[in-house]
Amino acid sequence: MKAAVLQFPGSNCDRDMYMALKNAGADVSMVWHKDAELPQGVDVVGVPGGFSYGDYLRCGAIAANSPITNALKAHVERGGYAFGICNGFQVLTEARLLPGALLRNAGLKYICKTTPLAVEITDSPYTSAYTQGQHIGIPIAHHDGNYTADESTLDMLEGEGRVAFRYLDNPNGSKRDIAGIVSENRRVLGMMPHPERAAEPQHGNEDGKLFFTSLLDAVVSA
């Protein structure tokens, strides 16, 4: 599996994402935001966490319009896999590759802690190695993780089984406790928690590891 991790000015989880993908067995390359094309033959694009462009205007808004993001959109239109973690999720919503938006946390505070999640679906390329309803602990680290969308969009996401992860103890005010969602074809995922920060024994928590092994399995067998 060939994976690419995008790097924007202000990305700071790019190397963590690189390591998690690499440890899962992917051939990973880093791609700079000014590049207009993804490396040849890339299967999966990862949009990492951080503070792309200093969160200017809105979190993810500038990154959603950078040259590499156009290549990402074309990749997704071709049916390619893409996932965004934290700021990456914000970028994917701003680029309209996923519905909804991330608002300021309801409690106004930046929150950095391991948060319990329920795995809501196992029929996605990112969650197939988990068990339905499994409880996992994944770190969050964000100020703007309060997921919102209009009621009809939320009903659609629920109806189509597109809520991938839900908070067990909603830390940020997200509508319907949503922590992560997938696209209609399930190949694009966005989530605020950081599975790449819980993917090695040295992290003290490996609950996020199955996210990357699921992805490898899905892409290699596809």
Among the residue ranges 25-33, 58-66, 159-167, 176-184, the one whose residues contact other proteins (CB under 8 A): 58-66
Q: Which residue has the tokens 């992860």?
A: 165
Q: Write down the least CB distance from residue 16 to other proteins, Å.
A: 27
> Does residue 107 bind other proteins (CB under 8 A)?
yes
- Find, among 113, 161, 165, 160, the residue nearest to 134 by Cα: 165
- Can you read off the two tokens belonging to residue 158? 């629920």
CA atoms within 13 A on the CB side of 93: 24
**One symbol per residue from 182 to 201: x for binding other proteins (CB under 8 A), - otherwise; what is it?**
--------------------
| Among 106, 112, 220, 222, contact with other proteins (rule: CB under 8 A) | 106
- Find, among 40, 47, 102, the residue nearest to 72 by Cα: 47
Nearer to other proteins, 87 or 146 (CB): 146
> Does residue 173 bind other proteins (CB under 8 A)?
yes
- State the Cα angle at 6 between 108 and 144, rounded to 5°: 5
| Among 104, 118, 170, 213, contact with other proteins (rule: CB under 8 A) | 104
What whole-number distance in Å separates Cα of residue 107 and Cα of residue 180? 20
> Does residue 100 bind other proteins (CB under 8 A)?
yes
In the annotation, is 160 catalytic?
Answer: no
Neighbours of 74 (CB within 10 A): 12
Please work out the total of residues on this chain that contact other proteins, with binding judged by CB under 8 A: 19
Binding region for other proteins (CB under 8 A): 57-58, 61, 65, 93-94, 99-101, 103-108, 146, 148-149, 173
